[in-house]
Copies of this chain bind each other. A is one copy, B any other.
Amino acid sequence: MISEKMKELVKNSSTIRAMFEEGKRLSAIYGEENVFDYSLGNPNVEPPETIRKAISDILQEESPNYVHGYMNNSGYEDVREEIAKYINKKNGVNLNFGNIIMTCGAAGGLNIILKTILNPEDEVITFAPFFGEYANYVKNFDGKLVIVESEEKTFQPNIDALEKGITSKTKAIIINSPNNPTGVVYTEESIKRMAETLEKKQKEYGTRIFLISDEPYKEIAYDGVKVPFILNYYKNSFIGYSYSKSLSLPGERIGYIAVNPEVDDFKDVVSSLNVANRILGFVNAPSLFQRVIAKTLGAEVDVNIYKKNRDLLYNHLISLGFECVKPEGAFYLFPKALIENDKKFVEIGKKYNLLMVPGTSFGRPGYVRLSYCISYEKIVKSLDSFTKLAKECNEIINKNQ
């Protein structure tokens, strides 16, 4: 009954559901407080208080037909202008409302970008490990996701691998920094080399290659690390931004696309994004939250809460002998599993009420992702489980030697 394309996807989705059901099962037996769910990227830090106030003010001050009504498919012009100004101030650029399209989160943004640029069989490159949804988004428009590796020790993009991966059919590359699942922030050096490579390959093939920067974690960065502003480094670039994490509003589906003013065929590209937003069924980003964003620019969740979580969990894992790149952003750790088979490692974790996602789901077997966007107290309580997990793994390794 269901379409051929969906059959495979429905089969895969049952794995996710199985994990979710496992969490419920364990909670029922041991109590929710004793189950350590590191599997979900659902922020636990509260949205800034300004959000509630902004909603209340808007409902008092503005006409409900305006606040909840239709607008241009790209969003309210005044909201887009405010966002452009904010970006300009932060990054020394010169955008205006015409560069901003309000979207249903970054997921909506990425889909309307891909709808705009992809013909069937076009190739889109991303670096493994990567957010698994990219494969689905590219398939939505009959493109092919081409996976190239990150640097082994740092999870920075491997530029040589990128260069080898580009063909005459390469239409775009998707990057994600701070990264899900590694938490790594791409350095300015990485971005510069990437841009040079793309420019070179564009010339070599006489094609256009778009750089799509998926930035839901842009604001979640620690230790004063700088996250490069992509539009400054490469002409044919888009930012797909989301307020899901910076304001802890993932359910509200609010974000934007920033289009580089120097993108080739700017006018057609922007018109197409506007139309794609409409015909894919988004129509427009949710209206009330567009207006909330304009009123709360600069507000951010307290990133130190995540940083404290990172330090606690990272230090404990290292003390147990885990290999792990110390992440500078997002709220994920991506350590090497203590045994080779990441799926088996995840299974063993469940014995100690630990829920983790195997690296295989991100195109990098042998690792696991831990989402530490849970309470500090829960992490403290979970440390003993990691110790036990490490002990069991060491016993397995010793037995096999």
The answer to whether the Cβ of A28 comes within 8 Å of any Cβ in the partner chain is no
The answer to whether the Cβ of A299 comes within 8 Å of any Cβ in the partner chain is no
Q: Are B280 and A105 in contact (CB under 8 A)?
A: no
| Residues of chain B with a CB closer than 8 A to A13's CB | 271, 274-275
Q: Are B288 and A2 in contact (CB under 8 A)?
A: no
| Residues of chain B with a CB closer than 8 A to A279's CB | 9, 133, 136-137, 140
| Residues of chain B with a CB closer than 8 A to A115's CB | 3, 5-6
Instruction: State the main secondary structure of chain A at its contact with B.
Output: helix
Q: How far is the CA of A279 from the CA of B274 in the complex (A)?
A: 20
Q: How far is the CA of A249 from the CA of B140 in the complex (A)?
A: 29
Can you name the residue of chain B whose Cβ is closest to the Cβ of A59?
A: B52
Q: How far is the CA of A274 from the CA of B9 in the complex (A)?
A: 11
- Listed residue (A118, A133, A286) with the most chain B CB atoms within 10 angstroms of its CB: A286
The answer to whether the Cβ of A128 comes within 8 Å of any Cβ in the partner chain is no
Q: Are A282 and B284 in contact (CB under 8 A)?
A: no
Q: How far is the CA of A378 from the CA of B269 in the complex (A)?
A: 37
Can you name the residue of chain B whose Cβ is closest to the Cβ of A136?
A: B279
Q: Given contacts A46-B65, A51-B64, are A4 and B281 in contact (CB under 8 A)?
A: no
- Interface flags, A112-127, vs B, CB<8A=1, else 0: 1001111100000000
Stretch from A67-75, A161-169, A380-388 at the B interface: A67-75
Q: How far is the CA of A117 from the CA of B3 in the complex (A)?
A: 5
Stretch from A37-45, A90-98, A180-188, A336-344 at the B interface: A37-45
Q: Are A108 and B269 in contact (CB under 8 A)?
A: no
The answer to whether the Cβ of A10 comes within 8 Å of any Cβ in the partner chain is yes
Residues of A within 8 A of B (CB): 1-6, 9-10, 13-14, 40-47, 51-52, 55-56, 59, 64-65, 67-71, 104-105, 107-112, 115-119, 133, 136-137, 140-141, 208, 248-253, 264-265, 268-269, 271-272, 274-276, 278-284, 286-289
Nearest 7 CB-CB pairs, A to B? Answer: A251-B287, A111-B281, A1-B265, A136-B279, A107-B281, A108-B281, A68-B249
Knowing that A2-B272, A107-B283 touch, tell me 14 more A-B residue pairs with CB under 8 angstroms. Answer: A1-B117, A1-B265, A2-B265, A9-B275, A42-B70, A46-B65, A55-B55, A68-B248, A104-B253, A104-B283, A111-B280, A133-B279, A251-B287, A281-B282
